[in-house]
Amino acid sequence: MKITQLNIYPIKSLRPISLDTANLCPQGLANDRNYILLKLSQNGTYTNMFIGQQPEMALFHCSPCTPHTFTVTYHLPSSLEPPPSIEIPYTPSLASLKQISIDLHTNPSYPAHLMPPEYNLWFTTHFTYPVHLAYIDSSPGTPSTSPLAQSWLSTIKPHLPSPAQEDEENITFSDGAALLIVSSASLSALPLLHEPSKQEQQSTLLEKFRPNIVLSAPDLAAWDEDFWSCITVQPKGIKIVLTSNCARCTSINVDLRTGEMTGSLLKSMMGSRRVDPGKRWEPIFGRYGFAVRGGEVTVGDEVTVERVGERAVWSLLSLFLLEKVSCVDLVRDEY
């Protein structure tokens, strides 16, 4: 089995950047989900934006610019003019940025930093309603000593090298999960690909599921990842523990070309992919996980898999996490 795609999402719910090489750490791939867009309400409060509620986010494409910056380009389908774009640093200077608190992850007072007015004006212009760009990468997230983090550690700890304590301290639990992993074999098995009138290009269809890492092998069976507990990148020894299934929601129905909620992909998966008793009303595609030993990963790297005999079940811990997360994309699929 090999890594065939590496994707980061510098701004949550916008289009991804595909990389040939990425640095993997316990918090995920470097520069992944550093930013979030916030919709400003009339009363001055902020609402986290994600593609399942604002499908027009699909029209904003991210691309690499320099080693320290990326570009966001607004692609309006009907426009014949060159698409407008803005350059954004992967890591801004925080000294002059206003800090606010947002309800995010497992923290109702998650610290975020509002970017300067020129960025907010650019996004507001193209969304046509007030939008702020906020940087969240430097936030502490959920402390590793919290009950929730300790529960995750109970799953991860058996896979940690000795001494385990050093690796545990590096897992900050700054998100519902650091990584989302899928297989290309499962993508090929999606019902929509076998309906001639509704076929989509595989690359576009895969992007709807927003994976960080895509794995492929000539003889890999569809949905085999349901039974994966751990993957290791060889010969580097980079290990990722898979902790839960990814339950899908209506965001996968967004037409990425038009930024409209028009598809029926979710419905087409309902018949065969409601396989998790803990999430019985939602289809499953992909696995969430954490890296417990990081390093550089590259497209083409070989991967070995540890398997279990039964599918994982969405646990009470996950239900607790879902209740605590105001932006549901963080524990489902809207990375």
Judge if the upstream peptide bond of residue 235 is cis by omega within 30 degrees of 0. Answer: yes
* φ, ψ of residue 224 in degrees (nearest 5): -60, -30
Measured CA to CA, the distance from residue 213 to residue 230 in angstroms comes to: 14
What is the token pair recorded at 17? 């950047």
Laid out side by side, the sheet with 98-104 consists of 46-48, 35-40, 131-135, 107-114, 98-104
- Each of the 335 residues of the chain gets a pLDDT tens digit; together they read 999 999 999 999 999 999 999 999 877 899 999 999 999 888 888 999 999 999 999 999 999 999 999 999 999 988 788 899 999 999 999 999 999 988 876 567 778 999 999 999 999 999 999 999 999 865 555 555 666 556 655 555 554 444 344 444 444 444 557 899 999 999 988 876 655 555 567 778 899 999 999 999 999 999 999 999 999 999 889 999 898 889 999 999 999 999 999 878 999 999 899 999 888 899 999 998 888 878 999 999 999 999 988 887 866 444 444 343 333 333 333 44
Q: Give CA–CA dist 73/84, Å, rounded.
A: 6
Cα separation, 250 vs 115, in Å, equals 30
Residue-range domain boundaries for the chain: 2-331
Does residue 172 contact residue 140 with C-beta atoms inside 8 Å? yes
| Site of tokens 């019985």 | 280
Copy the structure tokens of residue 16. Answer: 């991804």
Torsion of CA 109, 17, 152, 99, to 10 degrees: -20
One-letter identity of residue 57? M
Q: What are 276's two structure tokens?
A: 């998790």
Please give the backbone phi and psi of residue 280, each rounded to the nearest 5 degrees, phi first: -65, -20
